[in-house]
Chains A and B, each alone.
Chain A
Amino acid sequence: MNTAIASSPDRQPTDWSADAMQRRIRARYRAEKRFRFYGLFAVLLSAGFLAFLLVTMISSGARGFTQTQIALPVNFPASDIFLEPSQLDGDDRDQLLAQTDFQGLARQSAIAAYGEDGPAFLSNGAWVLLRDAVSEDPSLLTRNETLWVPASTEVDFAARGDSGMRQSEERDTMSTRYAELEAADQVRRTLSWNFLTLADSSDPTLVGIWGALKGSLLTMTITLLLAFPIGVLTAVYLEEYAPENRWTDIIEVSINNLAAVPSIIFGLLGLAVFINVFYLPRSAAIVGGLTLALMTMPVIVIAGRNAIKSVPPSIRDAALGIGASPVQVLTHHVLPLSLPGILTGTIIGMSRALGETAPLLLIGMRAFVATPPGGFTDPATVLPVQIFLWSDELDPGFVEKTSAAIIVLLLFLLAMNGIAIWLRNKYEQRW
């Protein structure tokens, strides 16, 4: 047959060196080069966006991790507080400390050190530091000691040479005062762990992200614990056991649609079901976790089904052929081989859940929570909601705190994805 075609009179032998051929070859090389360039361009563009985001966030947020502090000389023995170190040995120590007017002490000391407007240099919560210092070291009460306490937002802004939203004349006085303070070494700017250990507050010099971070951790724990096993088991059932009938089709279509439902709808659902029907506490990590699990599960189901589907049938045949039971085939071969795909879906779903704000607002996680949650049922907020709340604050001191919170959120995301990618690579196998 082949010889018949080759030798047929109306078909010339192909001339591979003809001009048209050469042009075609050159065009092919050009097309390949162009295509590679487009790909490279896309990669550089997205890397550029990412770098831009990181640089802006870090440059404006890095300051959020620091604190402007002011030196406050406190003369404990000469003050109005009549506490003896020995009194603090007893069981009623906390009560005694609570009854003592540290607020007044801070005020007095500020006036003594910086004059009439001295108290305006201190953060509203500076007295808490005095109390904590005394609690830690009762011998302070017998001494005259200079403590470093957080400065007020105004001082902080003067330190930055930034007007914030204050009126200009107020700013001018503050910056001259600040220059004096600085010359006398009475202010300093230090890295402070406070931002990472405190919770929300109405005073921007005293806010911390730990409350929201812990809220996010608790919420994500619930989400992962529910969405991962339920999602994987659903995927396994639909792929391996479900009979092919109308019901299976309906379930499949529903799950696919669920993955596309706007997240705020899940918030309404969570409100209606978990809070109004099951009477779970409002604003709690458990309700947030349940709501986000509803949202994450379909993503894991879809990714899981695709991963399970892509396990080569020859592997199943091999295992069945030496007498593995269907469950053994599943747990020994199919699931380990599809784990990378399942984990990829989980990363996508969990990242989306971590950044979710809208549904959590509806279930009350936008409440002002000044103490980090102790457990799953305590009032809590989460990182994105905290960012949303702070970005809404009038006080300009919250601006850098908002950026700092965004940095923390991004780091959380990176850590979460890093763990998942590490797990995925660990289980990645070729066939």
Chain B
Amino acid sequence: MAGKVIVVTSGKGGVGKTTTVANIGTTLAKKKYNVVLVDGDIGLRNLDVVMGVENRIVYNLVDIIEGKCRKEQAMIRDRKLNNLFIIPSAQTRDKDSVQPEQMKQLCEELAKEFDFVLIDCPAGIEQGFRNAIAGAAAAVVVTTPEVSAIRDADRVIGLLEASLLKEIHLIVNRLNQRMVKKGDMMSTEDIVSLLAVPLLGVVPESEEVVISTNRGVPLVHERGSKAGQAFQLIAARLQGENIPVDMGNNGSFLGRMKRLIWNS
């Protein structure tokens, strides 16, 4: 059976796409699935450093597409998991060096060998976005609880729907529970009702994310990390497990009363 191709996208930059790809991919690989992560951000290579494999790049995505190497030659094996691979993007090439049709073909080939093909989409809605979504059967839209990220997510969801991508999931990243409780951040419920896409999970704002990125070791390798656990749950849901989502804001009774008074 062919594997599943999933694109992780957002519209707005810097909301956590690469972090999400690294952590979901690592979790799925730890569960013994064969996984390949594709850095679709041509010109702004990032997934390699987040995964800690930046020193082992020989060939890249554009090389595969231009026929300069076989795809196996460009795949880098993960440092810890031998069923997890990374295809780095080209750092010195233009987004236009790849066409959607070529991406689609590559995704089809990868899906024959892997259970999951995760594509790290560049920010924006131009050529790079169209390339990244071309071969995907499902999309994970990442947003933060901020107005600009949500607006861009809505735009991206519209474009995904227009390109007939039916399976769309939402991740709310960098939720700050303290601010939600104070009423100074939109809650997960607010965001879900605005965007009207099923929620895959909520990742808290966490220093651990920055630290694990510094080390180039995805957070899900760490035990006892809240954000890491959130990513593990997300991966489990993505792979079909039915686990209810903790909206991340079931505050105290006092907090609810305060909100009731303030918001009325």
A and B bind? no
Which A residues form the contact surface with B (CB < 8 A)?
A: none
